[in-house]
């Protein structure tokens, strides 16, 4: 249950639904005929002037969050008010709210609405009317201007995989190899004193033959496996500049001043 002393801490507080989804932020707070905080409006858009209303019954303050037992869609489709005016809620508006959220009227609130009693102001920024509805704004009549900013960071993602694969190819190679062979060479020499004894050895007239074996080299091809190099995968980090962009929204404030014609835009 939100107390009267907690009302001023609600302005601008983020509103979340029962599922944890953010709905918006608190714009205005209304009290009942005896000053109890009963309704609050939530800004569900940036540029719209209307704010959806939701009951403060059974809401829960969790840190800087205001958690309502209703879901986001229900509150966004709820009856709304013009955020440019601080007028108290009328009896018809309160009736529509109770009917929309299927809530039961409190007897004291019903009696206050029916009697049209005027109640005293409980704190700065409140105002009442004959219906007993009380609207509350910030006590300093200030408006907060907000804007979005880009938060840029980096994340690591997998962009590819590399692997080493070894396979066998067959190719032709030609190599020149020197080979040698024996050839017959016929040599004739005259009879001299040096070979006379050998020449006259044996029979005078005979038939004979001599056989000579010739040799030659031929190429022989064999293969052997030898290591020639080692290959490995290595990684290195390369840093480069990339430009990113995005759309951001900014609130602008216009002031209607009595001594100036038109509106003044405040940046």
In a domain? residue 58 = yes
Which CATH number do you get for residue 131?
A: 2.30.30.240
In a domain? residue 105 = yes
- Name the DSSP letter for residue 4: G
> Residue 240's pLDDT is what?
92
Name the token pair of 213: 């074996």
**Residue closest to 146 by CA, chosen among 256, 16, 245, 47:** 47
Low-confidence residues of the chain: pLDDT under 50: 107-108, 110-140
- Name the DSSP letter for residue 266: E
> Residue 108's pLDDT is what?
41
> Residue 136's pLDDT is what?
42
DSSP string, 164-232: -----------------B-----------TTTHHHHTSS-SS----------B----------------
In a domain? residue 240 = no
In a domain? residue 71 = yes
* C-alpha–C-alpha distance, residues 137 and 126, integer Å: 7
In a domain? residue 166 = no
> Residue 213's pLDDT is what?
94
> Residue 175's pLDDT is what?
92
In a domain? residue 187 = no
In a domain? residue 218 = no
In a domain? residue 61 = yes
Instruction: Tell me which residue range forms the domain holding 109.
Output: 4-149
Domain count of the fold of the chain: 1
* C-alpha–C-alpha distance, residues 131 and 35, integer Å: 13
Instruction: Supply the pTM of this predicted model.
Output: 0.41
């Amino acid at each position: 249950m939100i107390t009267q002393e907690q009302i001023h801490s609600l302005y601008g507080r983020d509103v979340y639904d029962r599922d944890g989804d953010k709905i918006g932020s608190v714009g205005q707070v209304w009290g009942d005929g005896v000053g109890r905080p009963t309704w609050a409006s939530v800004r569900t858009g940036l540029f719209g002037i209307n704010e959806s209303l939701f009951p403060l019954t059974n809401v829960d303050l969790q840190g800087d969050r205001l958690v309502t037992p209703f879901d986001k869609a229900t509150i966004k489709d709820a009856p709304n008010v013009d955020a440019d005016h601080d007028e108290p809620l009328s009896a018809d508006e309160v009736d529509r709210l109770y009917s929309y959220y299927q809530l039961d009227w409190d007897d004291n609130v019903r009696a206050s609405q029916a009697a049209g009693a005027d109640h005293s102001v409980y704190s700065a920024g409140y105002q009442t009317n004959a219906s007993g509805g009380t609207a509350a704004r910030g006590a300093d009549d200030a408006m907060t201007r907000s804007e979005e900013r880009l938060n840029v960071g980096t994340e690591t993602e997998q962009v590819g995989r590399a692997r080493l694969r070894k396979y066998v190819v067959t190719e032709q190679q030609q190599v020149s190899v020197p080979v040698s062979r024996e050839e017959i060479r016929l040599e004739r020499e005259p009879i001299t004193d040096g070979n006379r004894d050998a020449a006259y050895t044996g029979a005078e007239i005979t038939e004979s033959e001599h056989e000579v074996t010739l040799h030659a080299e031929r190429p022989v091809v064999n293969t052997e496996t030898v290591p020639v190099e080692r290959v490995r995968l290595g990684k290195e980090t390369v840093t480069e500049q990339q430009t990113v962009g995005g759309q951001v929204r900014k609130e602008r404030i216009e002031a209607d001043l009595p001594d100036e014609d038109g509106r003044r835009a405040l940046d």
